[in-house]
Amino acid sequence: MGRSEELFERAVKVIPGGVNSPVRAYGSVGMTPRFIEGASGPYIFDVDGKKYIDYIGSWGPMILGHNNRQVLDAVIRRAENGLSFGAATEIEVEMAEFITSRIPSVEMIRMVNSGTEAVMSAIRAARGYTGRDRIVKFAGCYHGHSDALLVKAGSGVMTAGVPGSLGVPQGCTKDTLTAVYNNLESVEALFEKFPGEIAAVIVEPVAANMGVVLPDPEFLSRLRQLCTREGTVLIFDEVITGFRLAFGGAQEYFGIQADLVTYGKIIGGGMPVGAYGGKREIMEMVSPVGGVYQAGTLSGNPVAMAAGITQLQILWEHPEIYTGMQEQGQRLYGGMERLVEKYEKPWRVNHV
Ligand SMILES: *Cc1c(COP(=O)(O)O)cnc(C)c1O
C-alpha cells in the first residue's frame, strides 16, 4: 500500500469522503486520490515520489506553472509583514486599480474569498439594484455551491427551480429559473412569462463545467441585447475563464461586456480569492455605500492579494503567455483529434 492509500484511509475517517472538495475524490477515476507533496513548474509530485505532468493546474490558478519565483517572492515578502489585519491595506487598492484600469466593464470591484462567494454576492447586488427577485441560470453551468444556484436541471425550461442538493430549502431556489445553454428562445420565454421580474441572467460565457461547451456565436451577444432591453443585470461568471481565456477573459475574447463579472481561481494566483465587479452604479449598491450587505473578515487578505496581483501583472506584461498556451493547447488537442480520426471514434475534442 502506498502513502496515498494510507493517507486516504486516515482521511475518510475524519473528512467526508476523505477530501475537502468532492471533485478531488477520484470517483470516476476508479482509484484512491493521489496526495500531493509538492510541485515545480509543469510537474506535481505525490507523496509516493511519483512525478506527473500537471494538466489540472489547480483548476486554473497555476496558469504560470508552479512556484513562479516572482509570485513566491511577493508572497513571502508580504507574509513577513503580518498575515492579516482585519483592516484596509495598500495592496487592496493596488489590486482594485490594476483590474479596473484594465478590464473595461469593471469600474469597481470587491474582493472575496472564493468563486462561490463572488457569485452569490454578485447576485445579491443585482437583486438589490433591480429590486427584482428572479434570476436565470443555464442548465449545466456551475456557479459554486450557494443555495440559490444549486438547482436541478430538468428537461427543457422549468419555471420554479427544484433544489439540486439535500439541505437546500425549496424557498431558496424558487426564484431561480433554468434556461437552456445556447438557446436564446428559452431565455426569451422566461422573460415573456415573468416580465419585469428578472433581476439577473448569469452565464458561464464558455460552459466549462459540463465538459467544454462553446457559446454559439450569436448567443452571448443576443443575451447582452436581451438583458439591456429588459433592464436585467447580465452576469458573466468568469471564475474559470477570467484572466485565462484572455487577460480580459471571455469579455475580451468575445468582445462583449457584462454588467457584473465574477472572478475566482486565476485571480488569486493559488490563494483563496474571488472577486465581483462591474458597473459603478450596481457596485455602489454594496455595503457600506448601499443597502446590499456583503462582508468578509479575510477578504482582500494582503498575502492572497500579493499572490494574485503579482500573477496578474505577469500575465498583463506578457501577452505571449496566452499565445503560447494556445499553441501548446493546439498541439494537445490536435494530437487527440488526429487519433480520434485515425480510429474513427465518435468523439469530439472541444476546446477554446
Ligand atoms: C470553480 C467555479 C466556481 C466556484 O468557485 P469556488 O472558488 O470553487 O467556490 C464558480 N463558477 C465557475 C464558473 C467555476 O468554474
For residue 209 and ligand 1, the question of a CB distance below 6 A is answered with: yes
Residues carrying an active site annotation: 142, 237, 265
The CA distance from 261 to 282, in Å, is: 11
- Ligand 1 centroid to 346 CA: how many Å? 30
Q: What is the 3-state secondary structure (H, E, C) of the chain?
A: CCHHHHHHHHHHHHCHHHCCCHHHCCCCCCCCCCCEEEEEECEEEECCCCEEECCCHHHCCCCCCECCHHHHHHHHHHHCCCCCCCCCCHHHHHHHHHHHCCCCCCCEEEEECCHHHHHHHHHHHHHHHHCCCEEEEECCCCCCCCHHHCECCCCCCECCCCECCCCCCHHHHCCEEEECCCCHHHHHHHHHHCCCCEEEEEECCCECCCCCECCCCCHHHHHHHHHHHHCCEEEEECCCCCCCCCCCHHHHHHCCCCCEEEECHHHHCCCCCEEEEECHHHHCCECCCCCECCCCCCCCCHHHHHHHHHHHHHHHHCCHHHHHHHHHHHHHHHHHHHHHHHCCCCCCCCCC
pTM, entire model:
0.96
**Number of the ligand 1 atom closest to the C-alpha atom of 265:** 7
Q: What distance in angstroms lies between residue 224's CA and the mean position of ligand 1's atoms?
A: 22
Region 63-71 average pLDDT? 97
CB of 264 within 6 A of ligand 1: the answer is yes
- Percent of the chain residues topping a pLDDT of 90: 91
Question: What is the Cα 191 distance to its own chain's centre?
Answer: 26
Mean pLDDT check: name the lowest of 36-40, 155-159, 241-245.
Answer: 155-159
User: Is the pLDDT at 157 greater than 60, yes or no?
Assistant: no
Report pLDDT for 28.
Answer: 83
Residue 30 has pLDDT above 90, yes or no: no
The model's pLDDT over 194-232, given as tens digits with 9 standing for 90+, comes to 999 999 999 999 999 898 999 998 999 999 999 999 999
Q: Among 142, 204, 241, name the best residue to mutate to test ligand 1's pocket (greatest count of ligand atoms within 8 A of Cβ).
A: 142
For the cut 80, the answer to whether the pLDDT of residue 26 exceeds it is yes
Q: How far is CA 216 from CA 219, 269, 339, in A?
A: 5, 30, 26
Helical packing angle, 302-317 and 69-79, nearest 10°: 150
Q: How many residues does the chain have?
A: 352
pLDDT of 155 strictly over 70? no
Q: Which of 115, 78, 123, 94 is nearest to 232 (CA)?
A: 123
Quick one: pLDDT band at residue 153, thresholds 50, 70, 90? low
Burial class (CB in 10 A: 0-12, 13-18, 19+), 123: buried
Measured by CA distance, the residue closest to atom 8 of ligand 1 is: 115
Q: Rounded distance, CA 348 to CA 82, Å? A: 50
Angle at 316 between CA 207 and CA 102, to 5 degrees: 80
Cell numbers of 267, please? 485571480
Average pLDDT value over all residues in the chain: 95
CB of 142 closer than 6 angstroms to any ligand 1 atom: yes
pLDDT mean over 52-59? 95
Output phi, psi for 178, to 5 deg.
-115, 125
Determine the residue type at 338: R
- The predicted-structure confidence for 120-132, as pLDDT tens digits, reads as follows 999 999 999 999 9
Q: Which residue, among 348, 299, 315, has the nearest Cα to 109 in the 3D structure? A: 299
**Residue 1 binned pLDDT confidence (cut-offs 50, 70, 90):** confident
60: Cβ below 6 Å to ligand 1? Answer: no
pLDDT number for residue 27: 82
User: Per-residue pLDDT for 79 more than 90?
Assistant: yes
Mean pLDDT in residue range 80-86: 98
At residue 2, does pLDDT exceed 70? yes
CA of 119 to the centre of ligand 1 (A): 8
Could you tell me whether strands 176-179 and 36-40 are parallel, antiparallel, or unpaired per DSSP bridges? unpaired
Residue 298: which of 112, 165, 171, 116 has the closest Cα? 112
The verdict on the CB of residue 175 being under 6 Å from ligand 1 is no
Task: Tell me if the bond preceding 302 is cis, omega within 30° of 0.
Answer: no
Residues 43-62 have a mean pLDDT of 96
- What's the angle, vertex CA 248, arms to CA 242 and CA 254, rounded to 5? 95
| HSE-CB of 69 using CA atoms within 13 angstroms | 0
Percent of the chain surpassing pLDDT 70: 98
* Whether pLDDT at 327 is above 70: yes
Q: Mean pLDDT, to the nearest integer, of 253-273?
A: 98
